[in-house]
C-alpha cells in the first residue's frame, strides 16, 4: 500500500501526494508521458530514494526489478555469465532463472551480451529480475511488443510467469493494447495521480488526453 507518497529530488517535486494499493497476485500498469516520474516511482518503492509518506510491503517480501532495456551494456565486453555473476549467485540459480524465461541452452552463458538478439537480451533482463525468486516483479518499460521468438512477446512471457509463479507485477508501459487484457488496475500518473482503477473504468479518451496532453482515441475491443 502506498499512501500520501511525496518525492523531492534536488529541490524539484517529482511525486506529489500519491496513494494506491496493489494486492497479492494483481498486475498494476503504470501509464504516463516521458518525464512523469515513473522510474523514480519504482526506485522509491524499492527503497532507493528518500520520500515522505507511507510505503507498506508485506513483511519479508522479495522484490525483483527488470530495468529499462540497457543499450549501453551491449557495448561492454561481458558474457551473459559475467553479467549474472554480478548478482553473486550460484550457476544453478542462473540456469534455473534462464530456464524460467525459456532459455534452455546453457551454452548461451558464454556468449557476449552484444552478440545476442534483442529478444534474447530482453529475456536475459527478465531472468536477471527473477534471480532470488521474487514475489513481486517491478518491470520498467519493456520494448513494445518485442518478439521473443515465435509469436511470444514480452507481455505474453510476463503473463505466463505471473501464472506459474504467482507474481504480483508492477509494469510501466506505453502499450495501451495490453492494458485491458492484463491489468488488474491502471495508475495514470504524471508526477501526481490523474486516474486509478480497473482498466475498463479508467482507460478512455478523456483520461488519456489529460494524461498525455493531446487528444487520443482509444477503442475497447470486445471479445466473444
Q: Which pLDDT belongs to residue 17? A: 96
Q: Note whether residue 144 is domain-resident.
A: no
Residue 149 banded pLDDT, cuts 50, 70, 90: low
Q: Note whether residue 127 is domain-resident.
A: no
9 lies in which domain range?
1-19+36-56
Mean pLDDT across the chain, nearest whole number? 86
Q: Which pLDDT belongs to residue 172? A: 93
Q: Note whether residue 206 is domain-resident.
A: no
d(CA 19, CA 2): 5
Q: 3-state class of 185 per DSSP?
A: strand
Q: Note whether residue 9 is domain-resident.
A: yes
Length of the chain: 224
Among 83-87, 89-93, 217-221, whose mean pLDDT is lowest? Answer: 217-221
Question: Greater confidence, 128 or 217?
Answer: 128
Q: Which pLDDT belongs to residue 109? A: 92
Q: What is the mean pLDDT of residues 101-124?
A: 87
**CA 11 remoteness from chain centre:** 27
pLDDT over 60 (residue 224): no
**Which one-letter DSSP state was computed for residue 157?**
H
Element of type H or E holding 158: helix 154-165
For the chain, percent of residues with pLDDT exceeding 90: 54
The tally of domains found in the chain comes to 1
> Parallel, antiparallel, or unpaired: how do β-strands 52-55 and 63-66 relate?
unpaired
Q: Which pLDDT belongs to residue 113? A: 86
Q: Which pLDDT belongs to residue 148? A: 60
Q: Note whether residue 3 is domain-resident.
A: yes
Residue 178 banded pLDDT, cuts 50, 70, 90: confident
Q: Which pLDDT belongs to residue 222? A: 45
Beta bridge partners of 195: 188
Q: Note whether residue 13 is domain-resident.
A: yes
In order, the DSSP letters of 67-99 are PSP-GGGGGS--BHHHHHHTT---HHHHHHHHH
Amino acid at each position: 500500500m502506498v499512501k500520501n507518497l511525496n518525492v523531492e529530488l534536488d529541490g524539484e517535486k517529482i511525486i506529489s501526494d500519491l496513494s494506491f494499493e496493489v494486492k497479492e497476485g494483481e498486475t498494476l500498469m503504470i501509464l504516463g508521458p516521458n518525464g512523469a516520474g515513473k522510474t523514480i516511482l519504482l526506485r522509491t518503492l524499492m527503497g532507493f530514494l528518500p520520500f515522505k509518506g507511507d510505503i507498506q510491503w508485506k513483511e519479508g517480501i522479495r522484490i525483483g526489478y527488470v530495468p529499462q532495456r540497457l543499450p549501453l551494456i551491449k557495448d561492454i565486453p561481458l558474457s551473459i555469465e559475467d553479467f549474472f555473476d554480478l548478482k553473486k549467485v550460484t550457476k544453478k540459480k542462473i540456469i534455473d532463472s534462464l530456464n524460467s524465461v525459456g532459455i534452455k541452452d546453457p551454452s548461451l552463458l558464454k556468449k557476449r551480451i552484444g552478440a545476442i538478439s534483442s529478444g534474447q537480451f530482453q529475456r536475459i533482463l527478465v531472468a536477471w529480475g527473477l534471480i532470488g525468486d521474487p514475489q513481486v516483479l517491478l518491470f520498467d518499460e519493456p520494448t513494445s511488443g518485442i518478439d521473443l521468438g515465435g509469436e511470444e512477446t514480452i507481455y505474453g512471457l510476463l503473463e505466463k510467469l505471473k501464472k506459474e509463479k504467482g507474481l504480483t507485477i508492477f509494469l510501466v508501459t506505453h502499450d495501451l493494447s495490453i492494458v485491458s487484457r492484463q491489468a488488474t488496475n491502471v495508475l495514470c500518473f504524471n508526477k501526481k495521480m490523474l486516474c486509478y482503477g480497473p482498466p475498463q473504468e479508467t482507460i478512455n479518451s478523456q483520461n488519456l488526453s489529460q494524461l498525455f496532453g493531446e487528444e487520443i482515441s482509444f477503442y475497447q475491443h470486445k471479445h466473444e
